[in-house]
Amino acid sequence: MSGHSIWYLENINASDIFSDKKLDGPDKGARQKKFDKGEVIYHADQSANHIYLIRSGKVKILSPADSGKEIVKAILNVGEVFGEKSIIGEQNYNDVAVAIEDTELSILSSTQVKSMMKEHSALSLFFMKLMGSKVLEMEQRLESLIFKDSKTRILEYLIQMIEKKGQRIGYEWVVRNFITHQEIANLTATSRQSVTTLLNELRNEGILTFDRKRLLIRDIDRLKQMA
């Protein structure tokens, strides 16, 4: 299964899990909640008893840091799920979730999801795939931080983003809801200037183009060769 299709597994879409239209039954529906830009969705050490789906907006997942410096673990967009460890017995969240912009979430309790998993066996596989993918992604990022230079880290992150979230259109790939240069810098432990410089170089070479809303890859083979 390709990375960008992870949210769809055995005819189950993440949106279906948070809806009573397909996985119907008592107490299956999710509640909706809006968060303002910068608002904390949950703190580290808060009881882990909910799972979230992003309906609109964007969320960043942070590691708690005493130094005050943000350590960004992930930046999530519409259709992505987080907080899923609550269904495997995690008592408290071990990270912090913050709305990057005005965001609307669908929220299910872990009790609801566990009940649904008993009735729909494919849901267990869905969440196993989801959690396994996130662990693999973090391992790859850690390896990149240890062994790769800043340019390579940025290039590999762009490729990973395309493979996970990109849509192929002819010979090109498009990633919608493109994140900011600072967000890429946070995720790759580089500087905003390094990200901007490299993206501009890639654009000048005709490999990609971008704006605030999307990233368009014109030559993914050349991008991979550079990494």
- Mean model confidence pLDDT for the chain: 85
Over residues 132-139, the mean pLDDT reads 84
Radius of gyration of the chain (CA): 18
**Which tokens sit at 172?**
């090109």
pTM: 0.75
**Which tokens sit at 59?**
């969320």
Over residues 140-150, the mean pLDDT reads 86
**Structural domains of the chain, with CATH:** 3-134 (2.60.120.10), 148-226 (1.10.10.10)
Taking only the tens place, the pLDDT of each residue in 62-105 is 987 766 677 888 999 888 899 988 888 788 998 999 999 999 99
| pLDDT for the residue 155 | 95
Q: Residue 201: which residues within 8 A CB-CB, separation 6 or more?
A: none
Over residues 178-194, the mean pLDDT reads 92
Can you give the three-state secondary structure of 29-92, one letter per residue?
Answer: CCEEEEECCCCEEECCCCECCEEEEEEECCEEEEECCCCCCCEEEEEECCCCEECHHHHHCCCE
Over residues 92-121, the mean pLDDT reads 89
Over residues 157-181, the mean pLDDT reads 91
- 73 Cα distance to chain centroid: 9
Over residues 112-140, the mean pLDDT reads 84
